Amino acid sequence: MNALKNKVQLIGNLGQDPEIITMENGTKLAKFSLATTESYKNAKGEKVDDTQWHNVVAWGKTAEIVETYLLKGKQVAVEGKLTHRSYETKEGEKRYITEVRCNELLMLGK
């Protein structure tokens, strides 16, 4: 059960082309946003689409696959874990961010 403590699985579409960063040691980092959409009917019986946006990061070989094959709009399945971190803006404000650290990626669609 320990493997299930922090596990995320998402299927969605990329909201933009991935941002690829190459570290000084040559390791690659890929960052992209993933949109997941759920549909339901409201009290009036109207269909409502609820879209959630997720920040995804991938390292190493997974980042290289992202760089080679993924573009805005592509549908993917992502498996990973939630990570939380903070950073400081240029203005000195502390910001917090939640990301999905991707360890498995499956390309879907065409």
CB atoms within 10 A of CB 43: 5
Q: Facing residues of 53 across strands? A: 35
Question: What's the whole-model pTM score?
Answer: 0.86
Q: Is pLDDT of 96 > 70? A: yes
Residues 93-109 have a mean pLDDT of 94
So where are the chain's domains? 2-107
Tens digit of pLDDT for each residue in 77-86? 999 999 999 9
Rounded Cα distance between 110 and 108, Å, is 7
Superfamily of domain 2-107: Nucleic acid-binding proteins (2.40.50.140)
Q: Name, in order, each residue with C-beta under 8 angstroms of 24's C-beta and a sequence gap of 6 or more.
A: none
Residue 25 DSSP SS3: coil
